[in-house]
Amino acid sequence: MSKLNISSVFNNQLICVVIIVIATIAAFSNSLGNEFIVDDSLFIVDWPLIQDLNNFPEFFGPHNQPVGEEGVYSPLKTCLHAFNYNMWGLNVFGHHVVGLLIHLIGTIFVFKIALRLTANVPAAFLCGLFFGIHPVHVEAITPPTGSVDTSGVVWFFASFYFYTKVGSIKGKWDKNYFLAVLFALLAIFTHELVITLPLFLLFYELCFNGSCSKKRSMFFKTLPFFIVSFIYAVLKFSIAGSLARGIYLFGSFYLTMLVVIKALAKYVVILFYPIVLTSNHEISPGIFSVNWHYFDKTEVLMQSILDPQVMLSLFFTAAIIIVGIKFYKINKVVSFCVGWFYISLLPVMNFIPTECYFAERYLYPGSLAFCLLLSLMILAPFNHKNIFSKNIFKFLSILALIFYIGFFFKQTLMRNEQIKNDFSLYKAEARVNPRHPIMHRKLGFLYLRNGEAWKAIEELEIVVKLRPNDPDAHFVLAESYMEVNNFKKAMLNFEKATEIDPNFAESYYNLAGIYAFLGKEKEARMYLGRALTLYRANKRDNEAEKLMEAFYVFWGYK
């Protein structure tokens, strides 16, 4: 046990839990006034399925996700969305309260799991405290959609906790075992990120009950959990039609894995030093977390296993794993934490493609291991009589403790403020991702929608510079110039869009409108004809007829 003077406080579990809960609420308190952002519109505001509980049978069918989210099968997540909506409607405060409650329950389970693993209340306390206030969890908790996803991870924590309370492998399996199986069902059918739950349990058995004579019992003890994961995979494949949510990066498994290798090292770095927080990290120059269509194709294709960043990331990851192996005979908890962390990332390593290569929310289950290791490192000078128990190391540990609590708390408050609404989100995203066109593009859209055309133009000009051969970028910029009556630049960008994509019907139609406005009927008729021909060629006859009629009503000719 710790020899800190305040050990009497640290060793009281109830006091520890109360402090953790208060600190976590304080860290996330400024999120309660946040608005719905990004995916919240898709999954809450504009999703008719969850807004009527009579649709309950459909929650388990093939169309249990919003349009555009095909490839996901999480029926219990849909149920929780429906429950939230029918309790709170569009009262975003209520959704945030539920999200914070989910995080608090998860944090308490983290404390209890750490206590089960270490039998050290101070270490478990610091683990729970770090977990509760860590800023990488903002993405998983503050947006209401994210917190519903994260509820699956909380059920995963519950399943693992009750599993560790089961007696001996050969002994009678009590209610804890059946609670573990029940929560495993809830977890996996809420969030597929925790489909590897059986591997966590098996790894736990190997680390702490790993004698050869027990291997058969281990297999049968963990078998029901493997069956749950298998049933989920079969159901997802039969209902969603695939286990994948996309394709490999430019069709290459090799190139995808090179990005994943770099992402693995970045996950560790951001846990230790979460200074840059964003929904779309730059993993390496020109390569980001998501939206691979916006990646620098040359940078992607030029990747090699011999690239310095890839080699350094491989070495870094291998070194951590080797340390974990070496510690097996010294401190099995350290080995278990290393294994826990990398097992938690298996579902998002894109062996089965997801088209998302890095996300802070993916760290929610794995950060338990980081927080526990950080706690053990800080407490080491107080728990062991060796060279590290000298006063200088105790002093450095106290400094590290103060730094991390203060730093995590500050960053969590800051990140919650950044994602207060769509505007603040994309302003922050564009600031930390100046080379990612999609952030500037989305911010430009918001400015345009808000009637701030010149600010929209400023952002969209950046997009065009970053993606000069993107016809959509030129098209949106042209529309922005039309808002400020700069028809010359609007025409230049519409024409550039059609030059890049000769089948861009909308650009031809808008050019027809500009020429009509300028009184150039011949050019207007020519571009109108091209636009209507392309609409019809793409089996959009109804649109063609409506647009032709609208043009006639407005300009007097077809």
Residue 2 clears pLDDT 50, i.e. is over it: no
Q: Rounded to 5 degrees, what are φ and ψ at 208?
A: -110, -15
Kindly report the number of other CB atoms within 10 A of residue 373's CB atom: 22
Measured in whole angstroms, the distance separating CA 319 from the mean position of its chain's CA atoms is: 26
Closest CA to 225 of 282, 180, 286, 257: 180
- Are 491 and 518 a contacting pair, CB within 8 Å? no
Closest CA to 133 of 403, 378, 340: 403
User: Can you tell me the mean pLDDT for 442-448?
Assistant: 91
Q: What is the pLDDT of residue 149?
A: 95
- Are 312 and 265 a contacting pair, CB within 8 Å? yes
Per-residue confidence band for 304, with pLDDT thresholds at 50, 70 and 90: very high
User: Can you tell me the mean pLDDT for 33-52?
Assistant: 93
> Which carries the bigger pLDDT value, residue 24 or residue 445?
24
Per-residue confidence band for 387, with pLDDT thresholds at 50, 70 and 90: low
Rounded to the nearest integer, the mean pLDDT of the chain is 91
Q: What is the pLDDT of residue 4?
A: 46
Q: Tell me how far apart the alpha carbons of residues 532 and 255 are, in angstroms, rounded to a whole number.
A: 41
In 331-441, beta strands by DSSP E: none
Residue 126 clears pLDDT 70, i.e. is over it: yes
- Are 40 and 90 a contacting pair, CB within 8 Å? no
Residue with tokens 């808008």: 510
Which two tokens mark 23? Answer: 């600190």
Per-residue confidence band for 9, with pLDDT thresholds at 50, 70 and 90: low
Q: Rounded to 5 degrees, what are φ and ψ at 282?
A: -90, 105
> Can you tell me whether residue 385 is helix, strand or coil?
coil
Q: What is the pLDDT of residue 216?
A: 73
User: Can you tell me the mean pLDDT for 457-465?
Assistant: 94
For the chain, the first-to-last Cα distance in angstroms comes to: 86
CA diameter of the chain? 92
Instruction: Give the pLDDT confidence of 473-505 residue by residue, as tens digits.
Output: 999 999 999 999 999 999 999 999 999 999 999
pTM higher than the cut 0.75? yes
> Can you tell me whether residue 226 is helix, strand or coil?
helix
- Sign of the Cα torsion 335, 340, 343, 345 reads negative
Closest CA to 364 of 540, 135, 158, 548: 135
Residue 3 clears pLDDT 70, i.e. is over it: no
Measured in whole angstroms, the distance separating CA 174 from the mean position of its chain's CA atoms is: 36
Closest CA to 271 of 401, 145, 369: 369
Q: What is the pLDDT of residue 71?
A: 78
Measured in whole angstroms, the distance separating CA 160 from the mean position of its chain's CA atoms is: 22
Per-residue confidence band for 289, with pLDDT thresholds at 50, 70 and 90: very high
Per-residue confidence band for 68, with pLDDT thresholds at 50, 70 and 90: confident
Instruction: Give the pLDDT confidence of 507-538 residue by residue, as tens digits.
Output: 999 999 999 999 998 999 999 999 999 999 99
Q: Tell me how far apart the alpha carbons of residues 164 and 166 are, in angstroms, rounded to a whole number.
A: 5
Per-residue confidence band for 171, with pLDDT thresholds at 50, 70 and 90: very low
Per-residue confidence band for 265, with pLDDT thresholds at 50, 70 and 90: very high
> Which carries the bigger pLDDT value, residue 442 or residue 171?
442
Residue 185 clears pLDDT 90, i.e. is over it: yes
- Are 78 and 65 a contacting pair, CB within 8 Å? yes
User: Can you tell me the mean pLDDT for 305-322?
Assistant: 97
CATH fold label, 423-555 = 1.25.40
Q: What is the pLDDT of residue 18?
A: 96
Domain parsing of the chain, residue ranges: 423-555
Q: Rounded to 5 degrees, what are φ and ψ at 289?
A: -70, -45
- Are 150 and 103 a contacting pair, CB within 8 Å? yes
- Are 217 and 346 a contacting pair, CB within 8 Å? no
Q: Which residues pair with 282 in a beta bridge?
A: 288
Q: What is the pLDDT of residue 412?
A: 98
Q: Tell me how far apart the alpha carbons of residues 264 and 338 are, in angstroms, rounded to a whole number.
A: 13
**Range in 66-80, 86-100, 313-327 with the lowest mean pLDDT:** 66-80
User: Can you tell me the mean pLDDT for 145-163?
Assistant: 97
The DSSP result for 277-330, as a single string, is --SS-EEETTEESS-GGGS-HHHHHT--TTSHHHHHHHHHHHHHHHHHHHGGGT
Q: What is the pLDDT of residue 213?
A: 52
- Are 279 and 139 a contacting pair, CB within 8 Å? yes
Give percent above pLDDT 90 in the chain: 77
Q: What is the pLDDT of residue 15?
A: 93
